[in-house]
Chains A and B, each alone.
Chain A
Amino acid sequence: MTAPPIVELNGLTKRFSRKLDVVERFARRLGAAIDDRAVQAVSGVDLSIAEGEVVGLVGESGCGKSTLGRMVAGILPPSAGVLRWRGTDMRKLSPADRHRANLKIQMVFQDPMASLNPRLRVADIVGEAPVVHGLVPRRQAEEYVAATLRQVGLDPAYLRRYPHQFSGGQRQRIGIARALAVKPDVLVCDESVAALDVSIQAQIINLFMRLREELSLTYLFISHDLGVVEHISDRTAIMYLGRIVELAPTPELFDKPNHPYAKALLDEAPRVSVEKRRFAPIRGEIPSPLDPPAGCAFHPRCPHAMPRCSAERPALREIAPRRWSACHLNETTGP
Chain B
Amino acid sequence: MTEPLLRVDGLRTHFLTRAGTVKAVDGVSLHLARGEILGLVGESGSGKSVTGQSILGLVDPPGRVVGGRVLFKGEDLVTAGEKRLRAIRGRRIAMIFQDPMMTLNPVLSIGTQMVEAVQAHEKVSRAEAWERSRRALARVGIASPDERLAAYPHQFSGGMRQRVAIAIALLHSPDLIIADEPTTALDVTIQAQILFEVQTLCRETGTALIWVTHDLAVVSALADRVAVMYAGRVVETGTVAEIIGSPRHPYTRGLLESVPSRNRRGVPLRSIPGMTPSILDLPEGCAFRPRCDRTTGACAVMPELAGERGDRAWRCWNPVGAEVRGDAA
The docked-state distance in angstroms from the alpha carbon of A74 to that of B209 is 47
Residue B244 at the chain A interface, CB threshold 8 Å: yes
Partner-contacting stretch, out of B93-101, B107-115, B192-200, B279-287: B192-200
Chain B contact patch, size range: 35 or more
Interface size class of A (residues with CB under 8 A): 35 or more
For residue A2, CB closer than 8 A to chain B, the reply is no
B276 CB within 8 Å of chain A: yes
Q: Say yes or no for B241: interface residue by CB 8 A criterion.
A: yes
Residue B189 contacts which of A168, A210, A264 (CB distance < 8 angstroms)? A264
CB–CB A270/B195 < 8 A: yes
A206 to B190, Cβ gap below 8 A? Answer: no
- A128 located at the interface, meaning its Cβ lies under 8 Å from any Cβ of chain B in the complex: no
With known contacts A271-B220, A272-B256, A197–B43 Cβ distance under 8 A: yes
A315 to B190, CA, bound (A): 27
Interface centre among A167, A209, A271 (most CB of B within 10 A): A271
Q: Which residues of B contact A60 (CB under 8 A)?
A: 187-190
On chain B, the residues within 8 Å of A199 by CB distance are 43, 254-255, 258, 271-272, 275-276
Q: Counting CB contacts under 8 A, is A52 at the interface?
A: no
**B195 contact set on A, CB distance < 8 A:** 270, 279, 281
Contact A279 B43, beta carbon cutoff 8 Å: no
Q: Are A230 and B159 in contact (CB under 8 A)?
A: no
Cα distance, A264 to B187, chains bound together (Å): 13
Question: Could you tell me which residues of chain A, from 300 to 317, have a CB within 8 Å of some CB in chain B?
Answer: none
In the bound complex, residues from chain B placing their C-beta under 8 Å from that of A209 are 266, 268
Identity of the chain B residue whose Cβ is nearest the Cβ of A58 in the assembled complex: B188
A289 within 8 A of B: no
Asked whether A278 and B199 contact (CB < 8 A) given A200-B275, A203-B271, the answer is yes
Given the known A-B contacts A231-B263, A265-B189, A273-B221, are A197 and B44 also in contact in the complex, defined by CB atoms under 8 Å? Answer: yes
Q: Which of chain A's residues has its CB closest to B222's CB? A: A276
Are B190 and A270 in contact, with the CB atoms below 8 A? no
The one of A205, A230, A282 in contact with B269, judged by C-beta atoms closer than 8 angstroms, is A205
Taking a contact as CB atoms under 8 Å apart, the answer to whether A268 and B244 are in contact is no
Whether, in the assembled complex, A251 has its beta carbon less than 8 Å from a beta carbon of chain B, the answer is: yes
A274 at the interface (CB under 8 A from B): yes
Can you list 30 contacts pairing A with B, beta carbon distance less than 8 Å? A197-B276, A198-B216, A198-B258, A199-B255, A202-B257, A205-B260, A205-B269, A224-B187, A230-B261, A231-B263, A232-B266, A268-B191, A268-B192, A269-B217, A270-B192, A270-B195, A271-B221, A272-B259, A273-B221, A274-B240, A274-B245, A276-B224, A276-B240, A279-B192, A279-B193, A279-B196, A280-B196, A281-B189, A283-B193, A285-B190
Query: Contact residues of B with A, CB < 8 Å?
Result: 43-44, 157, 159-160, 187-193, 195-196, 199, 214-218, 220-222, 224, 240-241, 244-245, 254-263, 265-266, 268-273, 275-276
Chain A interface residues (CB < 8 Å from chain B): 60-61, 167-170, 197-203, 205-206, 209-210, 224-228, 230-232, 250-251, 264-265, 268-274, 276-283, 285-286
**New A-B pairs, 19, CB < 8 Å, besides A268-B191, A271-B221, A279-B193:** A170-B275, A225-B260, A227-B261, A230-B260, A230-B261, A231-B261, A231-B269, A268-B192, A270-B215, A270-B218, A272-B259, A274-B241, A274-B245, A276-B240, A278-B199, A279-B192, A279-B195, A280-B196, A285-B159
